[in-house]
Structure 1
Amino acid sequence: MKKTALALAATFVALAAPAHANTYAIDPTHTFVTFEIDHFGTSTNRARFDKKEGSVSFDRAAKTGKVEITIDTTSVNSGTAPFDKHLQSKDILNAAEFPTAKFVADKFSFNGDKVTEVGGSLTLLGKTLPVTLKANKFNCYNSPMLKREVCGGDFETTIARSQFGVNYGLNYGFSDNVRLIVQVEAVKQ
């Protein structure tokens, strides 16, 4: 009886102990931040940022976490050099004055063990606004190559670029809505 009481007490202590978040480093070779914007209703302009870094702190048991991703806006890549220069110009990203954008989040929503949304804020052109990324995919696995746990997924949101001060082309009929897609994998440290 005494052993059962001790075992039960140990279980309560273990359950009451604070959960422990693991830290993960963003893997830049498996992480891409891309955007899409309608081009006069005929096609979709797409580009990505080639340089990004960040970290994730994640606790599945407590269903909490924190994400910080910094994006180098000078690394925008549409596949067309003249378009990249225009994207970097004062008309759009103003990369000379604002060489980074940043997403910081600490509101994780779950369905079981799967992350369904990550809420936080996006700082772009010096303005910080709330943004929620919805997960299309989320998974953690033990990487056979890295011999460590990797977590990640495909996330997306749509922002109104004019809220950040990007008004170029609105009077021509360019869309205000920009779809952001974040494909991320992070390696447990």
Structure 2
Amino acid sequence: MTATASQLQIPTGTWAVDAAHTEVGFVARHLMVSKVRGYFKDVEGTVEVAEDITQSRVDVTAKIASVETGSADRDAHLKSEDFFDAEKFPTMRFVSTSFDGSTLTGDLTIKDVTKSVEFDVDFGGVGQDPWGNTKAGFEATATVNRKDWGLTWNAAVEGGGVLVSDKITINIDVQLAKQA
């Protein structure tokens, strides 16, 4: 069977996040003049595609200790109690609550705080890899306020402003693998 919502056509059933071809990333303003990008290397999850696409379900977890921004010092700071506190809260999790084919809404839990987030979703399509495995691709974007999850550390900078923006853009580029 194939689930359909508008232009989205994807076979029903269970799909696993293909971690080798997936990036859960974020963008923050630094000094309010430039952007810092990062991502979580260790991501896993499943998508249950229902015949009625609006009944589909997403459940994805990222390990906080896998955060990478291109700076070992910044990565260590993000893992510390100032930000994610990876030792006490080793994962963050997103569980969907609704999907209409273009907007995915769900509960994002970071540091044991759960807030609803809406992602704008673009469907990349479905195809087969050279080994006969069925794959599907999606991109999703949301903008959140990091303070909503207790990520409040900051520092004032000379001339006004702060070191890290409150507004964070989450960019997800996911490839899914159809399960037998």
- Segment drifting more, 68-77 vs 165-174: 165-174
Match of 2:109 in 1: 123
Residues 1:186 and 2:173 are matched in the alignment? no
Shift in Å, 1:163: 0.8
Q: For this pair of structures, how many residues does the alignment match?
A: 163
In our comparison, the structure showing a higher alpha carbon Rg is 1
- 2:17/2:174 contact within 8 Å kept: yes
Q: Which residue does 1:9 correspond to in 2?
A: none
Runs of 4+ in 1 over 4 A off after TM superposition: none
C-alpha contact 2:97 2:107 (8 A) present in aligned 1 = no
- For residue 11 of structure 1, what is the aligned residue in structure 2? none
Which of these residues, 129, 132, 137, is aligned with residue 144 of structure 1?
A: 129
Alignment check: 8 A CA contact 1:170 1:176 kept: no
In percent, how many aligned pairs have the same letter?
29
The answer for the alignment partner of 1:105 in structure 2 is: 96
1:69-101: CA deviation from partner (whole Å, max 9, x where unpaired): 100000001111111100100001110100100
More helix by proportion, 1 or 2?
A: 1
State the AA in 1 paired with 2:177. V
Q: Which residue of 2 aligns with 1:155?
A: 140
Uncovered stretches (5+) of structure 1, i.e. residues with no partner: 1-19, 111-115
Contact 2:124 2:139 in 1 (8 A): no
Is the 1:140–1:149 Cα contact (8 Å) retained in structure 2?
A: no
Provide the rounded CA distance (Å) in 2 between the counterparts of 1:38 and 1:150.
34
Deviation at 1:142, TM superposition (A): 2.5
Q: Distance in 1 between matches of 2:92 and 2:20?
A: 19
Please state how far the C-alpha of 1:34 moved relative to its aligned partner: 0.6
Q: CA deviation at 1:31?
A: 0.9
Residue aligning to 2:61: 70
In 1: Cα distance, 2:65 partner to 2:123 partner:
29
- AA at the equivalent of 1:123: T
> Normalization by structure 1: what TM-score?
0.81
TM-score by length of 2: 0.85
Identify unmatched segments of 5+ residues in structure 2: 1-10
Distance change in 2, residues 1:55/1:146 (3 Å): farther
SS in 2 for 1:87: helix
CA deviation string 1:156-179 (max 9, x = no partner): 101111111111116552311111
Match of 2:21, SS state, is: coil
Asked which structure has the greater RCO (Cα within 8 Å, sep 6+), the reply is 2
